[in-house]
Structure formats: structure tokens, C-alpha cells
Amino acid sequence: MKRKPFLAGNWKMNLDRKSGVELVRALRDGVGGVGDRDIAVFPPFVYLDEIVRAAAGSNVRVGAQNLCDEKNGAFTGEVSAEMLRDVGVTHVLVGHSERRHLFGEGDELCNRKVVRGLAGGLHVILCVGETLDERDGARTEQVIGRQLTKGLAGVDAGSLERITIAYEPVWAIGTGRNATPAQAGEAHRYLRGVLSGLYDERAANSIRIQYGGSVKPDNVATLMAVPDVDGALVGGAALKADSFLAIVRYN
Ligand code: PGA
């Protein structure tokens, strides 16, 4: 089954108000006619409101890089799914490797964030990926299978249309060393098999699995040609209009 490609740009803690708005305006202009793929950007929290307004009326969706696992209350420094929705955000990343490894977010917390994001009406991109040690120790499948299974605990089949999975091997993120198409294909196939076991084959076949880790204009088409790769989650190459546009328009 053909799934609609989903190209997303994670800005991480980069760009400022002016350069962010300029980038989104350039994307609006550059992808106005692109209807056969989904496009989203993930700016830092403080710019979301303004970026949503800059993207209004276009096919560029705006997502947050994180959310709180609670709905509201005494959680200083946190932002809820409802607040994100309130400013027009439609998507959210959960379990990005930097959240897992630099900020100590474990599978249980990621799961609560997935559940909260869905309850708050957001589309959730759940990120999974193994470290180099885990890959070298032949534990890739064990690790990504666990992250996927625990991350989706309690998520019913009816909510899956608002779930995307991102396979991002930690050793490929920001390193310039992307997974080979064969490595990506193997991991994506494995993840789809796990999804099939958790739900059923039809559900597993409809969920998009993005690849992330050093995706660039010159490797995106090869990666997207892999049958189980349905999109890309892009970091560094999403910070400039020309390179992200080239990625969005791959063929
Ligand atoms: P990268 O980041 O494209 O800079 O490797 C990917 C990501 O962290 O989502």
C-alpha cells in the first residue's frame, strides 16, 4: 500500500523569530503546489504562535518538539497539549533521542506523553532509535521494539491515524552518517512487524514510519525509495529553505 510521504523539519534549539518566520514564508511559497506529501516544521515553543500564523493557509503544518504528560496544574516550565492546540499547533514529537538521552526521558514518560498528546487532539510522532553500542551489540531490534511497544501502550487502534513513527538511529543524528537504505529498510520492516503484532496488519500498513538521521537533499530520494520508508524527520538540513525545499520536493 502506498502511504503519503511525510517530510518534517525539527528545528531543535535553532533559529530565532526572524529567521524562523522567513524560513516558513519561503516554505509556503516553495511548496504551495505540493499536494501529494505532508509537510511540517517543529520550531521551539516560544515561536510556535508566530510560526503558526506565518504558515496559515498553506500546507505547512506546525508541531512542537515536546509536551507535558499532564493536562494542567502546578508543573512549572511545562506546556500542555491543550496549550499547543490553543495556538494552532497540530503535531508533536515524543521521545526524540535528545529528549531520551540528554533529558532522561524513559519509555513510561514517553508513553504518557503519547497518550496525553492524543487526548489533547494532536498528531503524535513517536521517535525510536538505537545507540551505536546497542547496534554493535546486535540489540537494535530489542531496543526499538521495546520503545515502540511501551510508547504505544494503551493507544487504541482508533487513534492510530494520528500516530506517526520516526526511526532515528542515535548514531546517525547530526553526525552526517545516515543509515544505509538497507539498514533503514530492515529497521522499518521490523517496526511494521511489531505494529502488526500490537494491532493488525491493516493498521500496521497504514501507519507512516519516517526515517531520521542526517537526511540531506542528496540522500533523501534513495531513502524514500525504500518500501517501508514513508517520510523523513530532518534536523540540520531543515534549517535552510533551499535544502529543506529540496528534501520536500525529492523525486
Ligand atoms: P539530523 O537530525 O537531520 O540533523 O541528523 C535529525 C533529528 O534529530 O530529527
The proportion of the chain whose per-residue pLDDT surpasses 70, expressed as a percent, equals 100
CA-proximal residue: ligand 1, atom 6 (nearest): 235
Q: Is 235 in the pocket of ligand 1 (CB under 6 A)?
A: yes
CA of 174 to the centre of ligand 1 (A): 5
Give 150's pLDDT tier (boundaries 50, 70, 90): very high
Is the CB of residue 168 below 6 angstroms from any atom belonging to ligand 1?
yes
1 within domain boundaries: no
Written as nine digits, the cell of 205 is: 500498513
Average pLDDT over residues 224-233: 97
Pocket test for ligand 1, best of 125, 164, 210, 215 (most atoms within 8 A of CB): 215
Q: Is the pLDDT of residue 1 over 90?
A: no
Asked if 168 is an active-site residue, the reply is yes
205 pLDDT band (50/70/90 cuts)? very high
In a domain, 195, yes or no: yes
pLDDT for the residue numbered 37: 95
Question: What value does the mean pLDDT of the chain take?
Answer: 97
Closest C-alpha residue for ligand 1 atom 7: 235
Q: Domain of 140: which CATH number?
A: 3.20.20.70
Percent of the chain whose pLDDT exceeds 90: 95
Query: 25 CA to middle of ligand 1, Å?
Result: 22
Catalytic residue among 91, 98, 168, 188: 168
Residue 225 lies in a domain: yes
pLDDT score for 80? 98
pLDDT at position 162, please?
98
Q: Which of 8-12, 89-93, 172-176, 184-188 has the lowest mean pLDDT?
A: 172-176
User: Residue 32 pLDDT more than 80?
Assistant: no
Average pLDDT (219-245) is 97
Question: By mean pLDDT, which of 24-33, 128-137, 239-248 is the weakest?
Answer: 24-33
The Å distance, Cα 1 to ligand 1 centre, comes to: 27
**pLDDT given at position 34:** 84
> Would you say residue 190 lies in a domain?
yes
Rounded to the nearest angstrom, the distance between the alpha carbon of 43 and the centre of ligand 1 is: 14
Nearest atom, ligand 1, residue 234 CA: 3
Ligand 1: distance of its center to the CA of 72 in Å?
30
Q: What is the pLDDT of residue 56?
A: 95
- Say what the pLDDT of residue 115 is: 98
Host domain of residue 113: 6-248
Give burial (CB, 10 Å; 0-12/13-18/19+) of 16: exposed
Per-residue CA distances from 210 to 17, 55, 206, 232 (Å): 27, 22, 13, 5
* For residues 130-154, average pLDDT: 97
* Atom number of ligand 1 nearest to Cα 12: 8
> Has residue 30 been placed in a domain?
yes
Q: Which three cell numbers stand for residue 179?
A: 543509515
Could you report the per-residue pLDDT of 40-80, keeping only the tens digit for each? Answer: 999 999 999 999 999 999 999 999 999 999 999 999 999 99
- What is the band of 33 on the pLDDT scale with cuts at 50, 70, 90? confident
Count of structural domains within the chain: 1
Please report the DSSP string for 104-146 in residue order.
---HHHHHHHHHHHHHTT-EEEEEE---HHHHHTT-HHHHHHH
